[in-house]
Amino acid sequence: MIKDIKLAVLIDGDNIPSKYIKEMMEEITKYGTPTIKRIYGDWTKPHLSKWKNILLENAITPIQQYGYTTGKNATDSAMIIDAMDILYSGKVNGFCLVSSDSDFTKLATRLREAGLQVFGIGEKKTPDPFIVACDKFIYLEILKKDTEKPDAQGKSKKENLYNITPKVIRLLKNSVSDAADEDGWAFLGDVGSLIIKKQPNFDSRNFGFEKLTPLFKSLDQFEIEQRDQSNTRFKLIYVRNK
């Protein structure tokens, strides 16, 4: 990912639990610099009071939006209008939309049509249309810090969101084939980027692995090879279908 990308982080306060905010903001810095940070909600409601200290600690600006009509979500509309204003201001190169609500699907699509990167963050219950409208989608459940470090295989101690099914294996094998050279070897970095393009919510952490390399190493369907990189101490990881 582009590390110096400027991001607008827009959070649906009515739809996201406050307990994830610290880990979420740390995750966002992996993809860019959050230059605009706003959260939307009706702050007169008692259930949002727990946000106060968290917002101060993370320098997130609360945007007040009253609910005009029972059963209608005015917060979504305010967030969408602000996103379009920010888009036309030209101050950012990308957006991070934090919500589990499919109402933001069209917004994500529009922002990508304008050439901006869109990262989505939400809970596992997030509907597929919003997920696939983003360049990458991260589940909040995998961000909560573990009390234990990953084991020797790189496997996390937290509960897996998904099992490695035959459908997942097909996605991995097809992506390796698509990125492979004539000998069948593919650079793992290219494979990872291709997988995300095909399935924006793919993340090795969903399966209990901190990185993509230990995920591939755990599967019998693949060969892994480490290659020296000239003039550096780093090794490049290549993968091939067996």
Per-residue pLDDT at 5 exceeds 50: yes
Q: In this structure, what are the phi and psi dihedrals at residue 196, rounded to the nearest 5 degrees?
A: -65, -35
Contact (CB, 8 A) for 225 and 201: no
Could you read off the pLDDT of 149-186 as tens digits, one per residue? 566 566 665 668 888 999 999 999 999 999 999 999 99
User: Residues spanned by CATH 3.40.50.1010 within the chain?
Assistant: 6-142
Q: Among 110-114, 161-165, 212-216, 236-240, which stretch is predicted with the lowest mean pLDDT?
A: 161-165
Task: Say which CATH topology domain 6-142 has.
Answer: Rossmann fold (3.40.50)
Q: Which amino acid is at 91?
A: K
pLDDT for the residue numbered 65: 77
Strand partners of residue 224: 239
- Would you state the CATH architecture of domain 166-241? 2-Layer Sandwich (3.30)
Q: 150: helix, coil or strand?
A: coil
Q: pTM here?
A: 0.87
CA distance 33 to 26: 10
CA distance 143 to 159: 12
User: Residues spanned by CATH 3.30.420.610 within the chain?
Assistant: 166-241
Strand partners of residue 10: 38, 97
CA distance 73 to 13: 11
Could you read off the pLDDT of 69-108 as tens digits, one per residue? 444 466 788 899 999 999 999 999 999 999 998 989 999 9
CA distance 25 to 30: 9
H helices of the chain, in order, are: 21-28, 51-58, 74-89, 105-113, 128-132, 166-179, 188-198, 212-217
